[in-house]
Structures are given as C-alpha cells and as structure tokens.
Structure 1
Amino acid sequence: MLAVFEKAIGNPPEELRLPSVGLDSDGKKTREEILQTFRLLWPESTFYHLSNGNFMTLSHGAQGPLHPRSMVVMDDIFCIFIGTLVNISELRRHYGLSRQATEAMLVVDAYKVFRDRAPYPPDQVIKDLEGKFAFILFDAKSSTLFVARDREGSIQLKWGMAGDGSLVLSDDPNTIEKACGKSSASFPPGCIFMNGNGLVSIDHPVHKVKAIARQDDDGKICGAMFQVDLFTRLQSIPRNGSAANWADTAIVEGD
C-alpha cells in the first residue's frame, strides 16, 4: 500500500525533516519517481490517480491472512484499509450498513459522520473501532486527508517527506526508505492525522502530539518519534471527563 500527496494537501509535519538532513534531498525522490519505482516493484497494483500528481495504490502481494488489504471509492472518497475490526457487526448496525459492508466502507461512513456533523471530533468516531488496523482516507471533494492507526500499532504504517515535500504513507518500510531516505518515521499508534488539524492522539485528543529526534547508540540522529505532551493543551472543542485530568507525558512511539 502506498499513498503520496503533494505538500499543499498532505502538509507533512516538518519534524519528519531531520535536522541533520537540512535542505539536502539525501536521496529522496519526487512523486513521479516514487510512482515509477512502485510500479516496477508491484506491477499488479491498482492505481488511483488523483489531481495534481497525487495518487493512492494498493497491492495484494505478500498480503498476510490476518492483515488483509482492501480499498473502496465512494462519493469521491478513497479509502485504503489494512487489518480487521472485531466489532464490525456491531458497527454495521450502528451505521445502518449491510452485512456485506467491508471495513473500508465502514470507515468511509464513519468519516462522513464527523464531516457532516462538524464540529463533531473525529477521535470520538475512531474510538469505536476495535481491532488491528491502519487506514488512509482521502476526500477528493474537500482535499481532506485522514489517517489513523490502532492503539497497539498492530499494523505496520510509515510516513515520511519526499524530496519535493510531499507526504508519503506506506505499510512497506522499504518503500518509505527509498522514497524519503531518513526523513521518515513510524506513524504513531493510537493517533489520527488530518491535513487541516495535524496529529491527534485518540485517547488524549486535547493534548499536543510532538515529535522529537531519535538517536542511535553513537548519539547520531537516526529518525523521529512522537509523544503526547500532556502538559500542553490544544485549543479545541470543550471536553469533559478524564481526558482533561492527566498530568504526565505518554509515549506513543512506533516501531
């Protein structure tokens, strides 16, 4: 699975650009080069070409039986889903969907709920998803990008910044490395990303998720990791409950 969006849409966090990399491309590729490379590696893939050279693509090659991949296009909304939801039957009834509705179709309907009921917070919808999953959703009409990963980080999901500043997302670490070089990281478990709102923790939505440099044994910067700063609150919809009462810092580091 691979999705690439120009900087104006993807708006990748600048923290993905390592301080040691600076302005050097460091072997990173453009969207066109990434697409060509992926076509060679996975020629049987299904490609969805979006506006301005953005694209999403899905391959079933090397797919594990426990983590199936699926994609759906509904009402100009594109969604790639990896994994399974253990409570999908309950969610189908909740959203009034048929028994044939897939996880990807359900995510699209869940997205429509908070999109059409603004300012309904998206984390409230994602909290209802139980299982091992990661998904990438793009609403072509509004140019909204929506990405999420389950709390345990059960499904591999990486993101990075390409040579032209585009956001790259994939479940294949090799693809991310070839596309982004060192300007990449694991997408943090238990988080959602929207290009208009940035990175948000599902369980701590009122607190800032920040990136910090990760160092190897020699003290050299080798990547980035993300953590929830429970001392820094975001300006958002007023909330009640325990989410406002935490006073520590929670790490949501990926693989």
Structure 2
Amino acid sequence: MLWVFGSSVGNVPQELSLPLKGLPDSKTGEELVRAFQSWYPDSILCSLPKGNFLALPPQDESALYLRSTVVVDDVYCVFMGVLENIPDLRRHYGLSRQATGAMIVVEAYKALRDRAPYPPDQVIKDLEGKFAFILFDVRANTLFLARDRDGGVPFQWGMSVDGSLICSDDPKITAEAWGNCHMPFPAGCFFMSGIGLMSFDHPLNKVKGVLHEDDKGNISAVVFQVDLLARLRSIPRTGSAANWAGATAVDGE
C-alpha cells in the first residue's frame, strides 16, 4: 500500500524530512508511485486532487493482517489489522453487521468532523486491537492517521525529495524512499491535519522526533516519543468545520 500526499497537508513533523539530506538519489512522490506500479502491475491507482495518490496492490491472502478499503462521500480510508471490539463499535455508530474496520473509522471521523464535542484522541482510545489506518477527506483536504499502542501492523511514513508525505506498509517503498532509514509511524499516536502528531494516551504532552545515527553519522531512524515534560496548552476539540482549521498551540512556540 502506498499513499502520497502533496505539501498542502499541514503540520507534518519537520523531522521526517531530515534523512533525505544523506540520500542524493531519493525519489519524488510521483516516481515512487511509478515504482510501485512496476512492482504490482495489477495494483489500483487513485489520482486525487492537489497531487495526492493512493496505490493498492491486490489483497494477498497470505498477508499477516487484513486490509479493508472504503470510499464514502470523498472520504478515502484504508484500514489494516483487526478490531477486537468491532460489534460494540458497529452498535455505537449505528452500522450494520457487515461494516468493516474502514467503515467504522470513516463513521468515527465523520462524527468528529460534524458533531462530536470531544477530542479525536478519545475516538482512537475506543478502538481495541492491532491496527493502523489512513483516512483522507478530499473535500476538506484533511488527513487522519493512527496506529495502535503495540504497533502490531507495519506502517511507516516520511517525506519524499519533493516535499510529499509518504505513507506505506511496503518495505520496497520505504527502501526506495529513505534507503536504510527506519521511519515508523509511532505506536499509540495519531496525526491529523490542523492538529499535528499526538499521543492518544498522553494528549496533553508533545510528541517529539528523536534522530538515531549509524557509525558513519547517517540518520538510521527517526523515532517519535512522548515528551512528558513538554505540555500542550489545550486538547484540540472538534464539533464544527471551523475547529478543524486551527492547530493546537505548543508552549514556547
């Protein structure tokens, strides 16, 4: 799976671009899409507005985790993994017994966007299981990512040389994009346009990127961790379209 998001997606951590300084042959977002298509000729490619792309290979029945995909009212969602409390979530959101993990995430996002008076970290806490998901609202240009506490599903993210945000679970893509650098999406966290990267267990604390270097001084990993000493001024809350546009302020910034 490969997502490519243009530079218009806001509040992406700047640490994600640092490994590119040591990779003169790194590819642009569109070059990564073409490489993906060459590896998976039967893949599905969706070209979205503002330089955004989604590429999905055929579902591999031998894969270690399930994948569900849905598109509802220009909201695209790819869900990877398994929800252990899916019957409870279906009832909570008024969905049928056939509702997949992707459908549940879309409904949760729409509730946050349109109605909910509570912060997004509360929604992620209600998801029990091993999972990662990527949701993109085309009309609102809003990106919503999350990964469970244990990081049970492979999920990496980072920047391409042209400033695109790359999200993938495919080691071929990550090697093409960042060489040997490890760029895992942090377990127990979510990212949302206009809000940024946050821990859903510690929503009042900032999440910072820590750079790891190899013996030659090259960046070998960018690992995001909760800084228990750095507090946010408030928890971002939703409930109207206007609320989604504002980023949470951080003390001292």
Bin for the TM-score computed over the shorter chain: 0.7 to 0.9
1:115-194 equivalence runs, <5 A: 115-117=113-115, 120-181=118-179, 185-194=183-192
- Post-superposition Cα deviations, 1:72-91, rounded to whole Å, max 9, x if no partner, equal 00011000011110110110
Give me the whole-angstrom Cα distance separating, in 2, the residues matched to 1:57 and 1:170.
Answer: 10
RMSD (Å), alpha carbons: 2.1
Pairing of 1:21-170 with structure 2 (within 5 A): 21-22=20-21, 26-62=24-60, 64-117=62-115, 120-170=118-168
CA 1:199–1:2: 2 relative to 1, 3 Å: same
- Tell me by how many angstroms 1:70 deviates: 1.6
C-alpha separation between the residues in 1 aligned to 2:10 and 2:24?
20
Q: Is the 8 A contact 1:73 1:79 kept in 2?
A: yes
Q: Give the stretch that moved more between structures: 111-120 or 51-60.
A: 111-120
Q: Distance in 2 between matches of 1:181 and 1:114?
A: 37
Q: Secondary structure at the match of 2:18?
A: coil
Structure 1 pair 29/117, CA: closer, same or farther in 2 (3 Å)?
A: same
Give distance in 1, aligned partners of 2:150 and 2:161.
30
Contact 2:195/2:236, CA 8 A, preserved across alignment: no
Amino acid at match of 1:3: W
Query: Contact 2:59–2:67 (CA<8 Å) still a contact in 1?
Result: no
What letter matches 2:105 in structure 1?
V
Aligned residues: 237
Give the SS at the match of 1:211: strand
The one-letter amino acid paired with 2:94 is G
Once the two structures are superposed, the pairs formed by residues 196-211 of structure 1 within 5 Å of their partners are 196-211=194-209
Task: Give the distance between the partners of 1:9 and 1:182, measured in 2 at CA.
Answer: 26
Give ranges in structure 2 of 5+ residues lacking alignment.
238-253
- TM-score, normalised to structure 1, is 0.86
Q: Distance in 1 between matches of 2:157 and 2:18?
A: 13
Q: 1:60 to 1:10 in 2, by over 3 A?
A: farther
Q: Report what 1:6 is aligned to.
A: 6
Cα shift at 1:71: 0.8
Q: How far did 1:53 drift?
A: 2.5
Can you give the 5+ residue segments of structure 1 that lack an aligned partner in the other structure?
240-255
- Residues 180 and 12 (structure 1 numbering): CA distance in 2 closer, same or farther, change over 3 Å? farther
Identity of aligned residues (%): 56
Cα displacement (A) at 1:238: 8.6
